[in-house]
A and B are shown apart, each in its own frame.
Chain A
């Protein structure tokens, strides 16, 4: 269930903006299809690492839409720094992507 993922990181003056696109169905577990409940399936944890060091750890829930897009602002990053973003969903699936600060 790991569709494509895309990240971008850009210096914006004194901070770095990290933007990530993830493909995920983000099923709430409340929706029904032909009378049957579609089991919940959503990204639970989101981790952003900068040069291997965790800078953001997020817990997200059903309230986030399908194919989520997030952006973060991080202090103290430099051009060329490695950004790694990964997620873990409620079924235990994971996916990650890497990019460099531009």
Chain B
């Protein structure tokens, strides 16, 4: 009798240890749903659309003729098909670096001026954040299908994939240190296993995203930059080959998802 009593106790203790985790995950999912219901992400798209049509820069031109990969001026579905290789820049560009290219070529702005504030704050979001929200919003309902055929696109994917597992920085962290195992989280934010297509799909379908905790629209360039900051590496250069390769790797892993962004995160 005594033995079964102990085992019953053990089972009870085990059940207790499991239950709070599951309950917490369910609560987090419910909370996430509520957060999405109250999301002002659309407002960023509206401002972004105005900026897209606004004539500015030395050439006093708008971005309406910008070629995001679907031809000049085609915004519909463009974000879901990025990053991809562009002949004119001879590199793999994501939406943001492509927007920068258009600011330089169409509007005649200097790289330095256009990149003065790539990441904004709650009081003053950046032009890039508004524009990316608008461009991304125009891809809602499109299948995520980044470039995967050109040798440079393949190279970017392979580089991103290698970087994902490369340990670096003061903490000797790689992306996989946090994003390599299911069930990990930082406070209420779950850490998705981004090397798993099933997990990557919903994530990549909802970036850029409005972050409720700090009232900001954040882009993938920022997300990758900030992950590296948290890993205590030197700050990656905005739009550099490394950042775009990471973005390519994640987008390719999430391919096939139906784009549903800009999303809302905690």
Q: Give the A-B pair count, Cβ closer than 8 A.
A: 30
**Of B39-47, B191-199, B231-239, the one touching chain A:** B39-47
Determine if B174 is an interface residue (Cβ-Cβ < 8 Å): no
The answer to whether B215 touches A21, judged by C-beta atoms less than 8 angstroms apart, is no
Determine if A69 is an interface residue (Cβ-Cβ < 8 Å): yes
Residues in B with CB closer than 8 Å to A69 are: 37-40
Residues in A with CB closer than 8 Å to B215 are: 65-67
Query: How far is A60 from B123 in the complex, measured between Cα atoms in Å?
Result: 21
Residues in B with CB closer than 8 Å to A68 are: 40
The answer to whether B42 touches A21, judged by C-beta atoms less than 8 angstroms apart, is yes
Interface residues in A, total, Cβ within 8 A: 13
Determine if B19 is an interface residue (Cβ-Cβ < 8 Å): no
Query: How far is A3 from B42 in the complex, measured between Cα atoms in Å?
Result: 12
Query: How far is A6 from B39 in the complex, measured between Cα atoms in Å?
Result: 12
How many Å from the CB of A20 to the closest CB on chain B? 10
Interface of A is mostly: loop
Determine if B122 is an interface residue (Cβ-Cβ < 8 Å): yes
Given A3-B47, A4-B47, decide whether A66 and B42 contact each other with a Cβ distance below 8 A.
Answer: no
How many Å from the CB of B43 to the closest CB on chain A? 5
Query: How far is A23 from B40 in the complex, measured between Cα atoms in Å?
Result: 8
Residues in A with CB closer than 8 Å to B42 are: 6, 21
Query: How far is A21 from B46 in the complex, measured between Cα atoms in Å?
Result: 11
Q: Among the interface residues B38, B40, B123, which one has the most CB atoms of the partner chain A within 10 A?
A: B40
Of the candidates B38, B39, B46, B122, the one whose C-beta lies within 8 Å of that of A4 is: B46
| Nearest opposing residue in chain B for A4, CB measure | B46
The answer to whether A67 touches B43, judged by C-beta atoms less than 8 angstroms apart, is yes
Query: How far is A65 from B213 in the complex, measured between Cα atoms in Å?
Result: 10
How many Å from the CB of B129 to the closest CB on chain A? 13
| Nearest opposing residue in chain B for A21, CB measure | B40
How many Å from the CB of A43 to the closest CB on chain B? 13
How many Å from the CB of A25 to the closest CB on chain B? 7
Query: How far is A22 from B215 in the complex, measured between Cα atoms in Å?
Result: 13
Query: How far is A65 from B42 in the complex, measured between Cα atoms in Å?
Result: 16
| Interface set, chain A 55-87, CB cutoff 8 A to B | 65-69
Query: How far is A23 from B216 in the complex, measured between Cα atoms in Å?
Result: 12
| Nearest opposing residue in chain A for B38, CB measure | A69
| Interface set, chain B 45-80, CB cutoff 8 A to A | 46-47
How many Å from the CB of B210 to the closest CB on chain A? 8
How many Å from the CB of A39 to the closest CB on chain B? 13
Residues in B with CB closer than 8 Å to A6 are: 42-43, 46
Give me 18 other A-B pairs in contact (C-beta within 8 A), A3-B47, A6-B42, A69-B37 excluded: A3-B43, A4-B46, A4-B47, A5-B43, A6-B43, A6-B46, A21-B42, A22-B40, A22-B43, A23-B40, A23-B43, A25-B123, A65-B212, A65-B215, A66-B215, A67-B40, A67-B215, A68-B40
Q: Which 3 A-B pairs have the closest CB atoms?
A: A67-B40, A66-B215, A4-B46
